[in-house]
Amino acid sequence: MFTMKKPILAISMVVMMLFTAACKKSDSKDDNSTVPKKEYELIKMGTPYGDMYIWLYDKTVKHKENFIKLSKEGFYNNLLFHRVIPNFMIQGGDPKGDGTGGPGYTISAEIYPEITHKRGSIAAARLGDAVNPNKESSGSQFYIAVSTSGTAHLNGQYTVFGEVIKGIEAADSIVSQPRNMSTNKPNQDIPMQVSVVKMTKEKIKKDFDFEVTE
């Protein structure tokens, strides 16, 4: 009778080891489920006519990094949309407010044939070819297209670096405001508040019906 204790003890130990291993495996799954989901940076552009949420393209990396940097620094806050043209675009990002200002530097062009203007595109303003043959972008000035047909002639000439994924109606309201017909500057100041927000791709899909692709 006493000789039976060792096999029974051995079996008990094996069962206990298997149970412990199963528990550890289960715990590891729980640990993985608590890992934070990846968040993506978007631009939130507040205006008196509503907020616009902007997705910046990875391919135009220099423009994306610069816009995020300036937004985090608060550079754009309280700057004006200084130029509006119906069926074309709204323009802003100039600290002088007249189309001649910037942060003191330009950005190398990132113009790709597959990235064209469409309604809601955000692109970099720049000086003309006569003084800027390399099509370098302004360091801060940008425009948002309110019409695909109205901006198609700019394809291949200006760097398009993102798109409005929610709130393009705000741009529609801005572009329709009364303006000085010689300068296209709105008669009433239209300021902006720009910040960076972080969201998971699941929330972006839910809130904006926009699919994030890696």
Task: Name the superfamily (CATH) of residues 39-208.
Answer: Cyclophilin-like (2.40.100.10)
Q: What is the dihedral of CA 142, 151, 107, 40, to 10 degrees?
A: 70
213: phi then psi, degrees, rounded to nearest 5: -115, 140
Residue 167 scores a pLDDT above 80: yes
Asked whether 171 and 52 are in contact (CB, 8 A), the reply is yes
Average pLDDT score, the chain: 90
Residue 85 CA to residue 180 CA, distance in Å, equals: 10
User: What does the domain layout of the chain look like in residue ranges?
Assistant: 2-33, 39-208
Residue 38 scores a pLDDT above 70: yes
**How many residues in total does the chain contain?**
214
User: Given this model, what pLDDT does residue 1 score?
Assistant: 43
pLDDT 10s digits, 114-153:
999 999 999 999 999 999 999 999 999 999 999 999 999 9
Residue 3 scores a pLDDT above 60: no
pTM of the complete model: 0.84
User: Given this model, what pLDDT does residue 6 score?
Assistant: 53
pLDDT 10s digits, 52-89:
999 999 999 999 999 999 999 999 999 999 999 999 99
Q: How confident is the model at residue 2 (pLDDT cuts 50, 70, 90)?
A: very low
pLDDT top residue among 164 and 22:
164
Residue 98 CA to residue 6 CA, distance in Å, equals: 92
Residue 176 scores a pLDDT above 80: yes
User: Given this model, what pLDDT does residue 16 score?
Assistant: 55
